[in-house]
């Protein structure tokens, strides 16, 4: 049983929400479901893909924030604040990652963890790097 299913280019991953550690972020993201966009490879952070969300204000502060998400961790940089160093974004780590922007080190709210097929996630991440953007959809699990 999974809280959420993440479909990246036709490959589906089960994931769990980090409700205890990031309750506000989880609640805000649940309200966005189903959520579809495209992921692109990060420029500064290492082995990860991201969904740029521009100036979208998620009305979140920091909770369960990390600069070093592990493979399978999904984090959100809340942006929307006058002191934001970067735009609002979601990052999916598939390997070693040090979350950053051109302005330097960032931290994002770890709110979701992919619980299976991390080897496949890494393969898709490398494909995004070499082949370009891919479709991604987050749906409530069963």
Its domain, for residue 14, covers 4-140
Counting the structural domains of the chain, the total is: 1
Residues with pLDDT less than 50, the chain: none
This prediction's pTM: 0.94
Could you write out the DSSP letters of every residue in 13-26? Answer: EEEEE-TTT-HHHH
C-alpha span between 77 and 86 (Å, rounded): 8
Cα distances (Å, whole numbers) of residue 126 to 61, 104, 142: 31, 23, 29
**The domain that contains 31 carries what CATH number?**
2.40.100.20
Question: How confident is the model at residue 34, as a pLDDT?
Answer: 97
Question: Prior bond to 34 cis, omega within 30?
Answer: yes
Question: How confident is the model at residue 80, as a pLDDT?
Answer: 61
Q: Which alpha helices (DSSP H) does 1-142 contain, by range?
A: 23-30, 118-131
Return the H-helix or E-strand segment holding 52. strand 46-52
């Amino acid at each position: 049983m999974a809280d959420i299913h993440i479909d990246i280019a036709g490959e589906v991953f089960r994931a769990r929400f980090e409700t205890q550690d990031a309750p506000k972020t989880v609640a805000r993201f649940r309200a966005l479901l189903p959520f579809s966009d495209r992921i692109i490879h990060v420029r500064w952070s290492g082995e990860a893909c991201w969904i740029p969300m521009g100036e979208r204000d998620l009305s979140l502060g920091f909770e369960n924030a990390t600069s070093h998400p592990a493979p399978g961790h999904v984090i959100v940089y809340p942006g929307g604040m006058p002191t934001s160093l970067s735009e609002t974004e979601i990052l999916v780590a598939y390997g070693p990652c040090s979350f950053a922007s051109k302005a330097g080190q960032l931290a994002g709210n770890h709110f979701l963890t992919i619980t299976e097929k991390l080897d496949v996630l890494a393969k898709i991440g490398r494909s995004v790097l070499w082949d370009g953007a891919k479709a991604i959809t987050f749906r409530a699990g069963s």
